[in-house]
Structure 1
Amino acid sequence: MLANITPNGEGCIAEFRRILKHPIKEVWAYLTDNEKLQQWFSELRVEALREGGRILFDMQNGTFEEMTITSFEHNAVLAFTWGEDAVSFELHPAQEGTLLVMKETIHRITPHTPRDLAGWHVCLDVIASLLDGRDFGSREKVWKPLYEQYKEAMDALK
């Protein structure tokens, strides 16, 4: 299921929800432990896991973009800057395991926005596969049709 996308000024808020059949502690590790983080988003690295701490994005050219952790609650909330935008992960107990709610607050929709949303969608599906011990397969094959769907969703907001 695609993210729920709500208009917000010139931008939007995209909210992804996943029920993961694993305890919060295990899901949290995929968001905060660098070894596990590398398995689903190899460019990210947590440098200081605390409010005011930072996460680094490896630009793959020898430079890093620094993102500030804006909200942190162990095993519950991780929010950080994402360029001009913001990303948050919230974990909630669910009967089946954990409800993961990921939001990206996008201040201005650009032609790159559908790419990012499709990317986050795939990343969250990869986390679910890793937790389940399943091989995800080709991210690119999954990403391409999602990109088209998110492109249509962004076009519909205009």
Structure 2
Amino acid sequence: MTETLSTENGRTVLRMRRELRHPVDKVWRAITEPAQLAGWFPAAVELDLRLDGPITFTFEEDPGAPIDEESRGVIRAFEPPRLIEYTWGTEVLRWELVPTADGCTLHLTATHDDRPGSASFTSGWLLCFDALEKVVGGSAVPEKDYAVLHEHFVKVYGLDEGAVREDGGVRFERQLVRPKELVWQLLAGAATATMGTLPPAGFVAKGVEAGPVTEVAEPERLTYSWPRGEVSWTLRDGNGGARLVLIQTGPASDYLEAWHDLIEALAAELVTRDAS
């Protein structure tokens, strides 16, 4: 495994590398020229290839979106044909090419603030690297399943672990691989979440004494009481699927393992479900 995740200066740093059987000059064109980037990069790119040159990123599904700070960047390091580093919103992407006897090694260092999303980023870049292989004329690469890759890196990076909060409560933030509508459907089952009634069983970890629902906004939020506080489920759109945040307030550290088991069983079930 060549993928590593660390925390440096308060930010999350993802490092990846790919051995390529192609010369540096050829790969350099693929990572810097818009026409070739279009064949593998996750967004359409327009850039001024110079130090401090501006960059814009747009997505095919939303080509008319306004160019805001999250879709802008600037080139911070530029040493052709070996190094280019630029920002993409608050993210920093550093691409380095090192010659080898058989071609070159591509190094990617991605610095960002969304640690729970790191498995999504890793899986996405791996699929992009496969597409890059084709752009530079490599042999066909077997297709990988994004959801399976994602769940692999969740475990490798320890992103399935919850945390005990300062107030004694527990918190999980978990990127999932399917939309929030499907996640809600699996959690609720045949039941309906209704104010003043007990929550559907799928929203309750083993051993938690659930009280009545105090807030519900399907498929985004469900809150219910328990004897020492409340439990809140929040689902929002994330990278590649729903982002789940679960919080149980009050002295709740005893339930950390139960919540972990419930969420991981949900995540495993989602991998088997069609995204549509």
TM-score, normalised on structure 2? 0.51
Which residue of 2 is the match for residue 36 of structure 1? 36
Residue among 135, 143, 147 paired with 2:146: 143
2:42–2:128 contact (8 Å) kept in structure 1:
no
1:129 to 131, 134, 151: 134
Say which SS state the counterpart of residue 57 (structure 1) adopts. strand
Identity of aligned residues (%): 25
Distance 1:36 1:57, change over 3 A: same
Bigger RCO of structures 1 and 2 (CA < 8 A, at least 6 apart): 1
Deviation at 1:61, TM superposition (A): 4.6
Pair 1:92-2:98 in alignment = yes
3-state SS, counterpart of residue 22 of structure 2: coil
User: How far apart, CA to CA, are the structure 1 residues paired with 2:145 and 2:77?
Assistant: 31
* DSSP 3-state at the match of 1:105: strand
| Offset at residue 27 of structure 1 (A) | 0.4
Identify the match of residue 155 of structure 1 among 144, 156, 159.
Answer: 159
Corresponding position of 2:169 = none
Matches within 5 A, 1:14-33: 14-33=14-33
* 1:66 to 2:72 alignment: yes
Shift of 1:40: 0.3
Q: Provide structure 1 residue ranges, at least 5 long, that are not aligned to the other structure.
A: none
Root mean square deviation, CA, Å:
2.3
Aligned pairs, how many?
155
Per-residue deviation at 1:71?
Answer: 0.8
SS in 2 for 1:155: coil
Contact kept in structure 1, 2:2 and 2:17, CA below 8 Å: no
- Contiguous gaps of at least 5 residues in structure 2: 163-276
Tell me the CA shift for residue 114 of structure 1. Answer: 2.1
Secondary structure at the counterpart of residue 97 of structure 2 = strand
TM-score (norm 1): 0.84
The farther-off stretch of 57-66 and 12-21 is: 57-66
Using the alignment, how far apart are the partners of 1:7 and 1:88 within structure 2?
16
Letter of the structure 2 residue corresponding to residue 56 of structure 1: T
